[in-house]
Amino acid sequence: MAQPNSAAPPAPQPAIAVRNVTKTYASGFQALSDVTLDIRPGEIFALLGPNGAGKTTLISIICGIVTATGGTIRANGHDIARDYRAARRQIGLVPQELSTDAFETVLATVRFSRGLFGRPADPAYIEKILRDLSLWDKRDSRIVTLSGGMKRRVMIAKALSHEPRILFLDEPTAGVDVELRRDMWQMVRALRDTGVTIILTTHYIEEAEEMADRIGVINKGRIILVEEKSRLMHKLGKTQLVLRMQAPLAECPAALDAWQLECTAGGTELVYTYDAQAADTGVAALMRQIDALGLEIRNLQTRQSSLEDIFVSLVRSES
């Protein structure tokens, strides 16, 4: 008789596998402590953390720009230390700093970048990325003559020039205008649709909220959480019920103590924070009690906590 095959299918190889990575700078400062992290193929992963948390250090180690003090990293199975060229070829990096040869033309810079990775010339591919980034009309311009936003587009074109399967974007939208930001996110989504894995760091938490499949939070050199964005928001998100009162209250009535309400806006608002997933949210009992006290409600509204609220409370509870 055939045996049912109960073995789970093997997990796909991570796009990036970071194992026990530590980094102590020459100054003696420990920027990363025992970081272990898998980035799944084809996902958009957002790495969030306050200033100085270690985001750039981690990205720089993965991209071979900074050497780790300990631990291992693989990119699509290639060890970044022992098999550097093959590992690095998997990766495109859009760094935070704009750094490129100012006196070259856009086209020459992007072509040259492809050559650096040992890829054969492919004019049609280079034309496509320049067109996608609205740089085709500027292809013969020297980089020094471009605006800051255009220069950033060139950095992205360079990062994509060798057709990487994994793209790192370090604070890609810091200081860019709304139009470029929108173009950039459109491009990130289009790349993901072709199977490219995207890892981004951002200070704009609402961007991570909109774009990411999974979120990692790093604080003081340690990964404190990695979670599906939807699970994170479901698990840690809170709901608030805001009751606007007909007449201001001098203080929150003692009979409402059980709900630990906040009395705000000069006594005209009562705010109840609760877990919307709970079997009994307490909302119905609260409304009955308010009615019994003869308090009149002008209107009411609910709001969900944002990823930003969750992030702030996570980082605060760690420090």
Ligand X SMILES: Nc1ncnc2c1ncn2[C@@H]1O[C@H](COP(=O)(O)OP(=O)(O)OP(=O)(O)O)[C@@H](O)[C@H]1O
Binding stretches for ligand X (CB under 6 A) = 25, 27, 29, 31, 49, 51-57
Strand boundaries in the chain, DSSP class E? 16-24, 30-39, 44-48, 70-75, 78-79, 91-94, 166-170, 197-201, 214-219, 222-228, 239-245, 262-264, 269-274, 297-304
Do residues 13 and 41 make contact, with C-beta atoms less than 8 angstroms apart?
yes
Q: Provide the minimum distance between the beta carbon of 123 and ligand X in the complex, in angstroms, as a whole number.
A: 36
Tokens standing for residue 101:
């040869």
Judged by CB, which is closer to ligand X: 9, or 28?
Answer: 28
Nearer to ligand X, 65 or 102 (CB): 65
Residues in Cβ contact with 6 at an 8 Å cutoff, skipping those fewer than 6 apart: none
| Least CB distance to ligand X at residue 173 (A) | 13
Q: Is 155 left (phi over 0), alpha (psi -120 to 50) or beta?
A: alpha
CA distances from 106 to 1, 11, 117, 179 (A): 66, 41, 18, 20
Q: How far apart are the first and last CA of the chain?
A: 59
> Is the Cβ of residue 168 or residue 259 nearer to ligand X in the bound state?
168
User: For ligand X, which is the closer residue by CB, 59 or 187?
Assistant: 59
**Coil vs helix vs strand at 6:** coil
Compute the least distance from the CB of residue 258 to ligand X, in Å: 42
- Cβ 167 to ligand X, closest distance in Å? 17
Of 55 and 89, CB closest to ligand X: 55
Sign of CA dihedral 211, 215, 220, 223: negative
Q: How far is the CB of 183 from ligand X (least distance, A)?
A: 23
Minimum distance of ligand X from residue 159's CB (angstroms): 18
- The candidate with the shortest Cα–Cα distance to 40, out of 85, 76, 67, 80, is 76
Nearer to ligand X, 53 or 91 (CB): 53
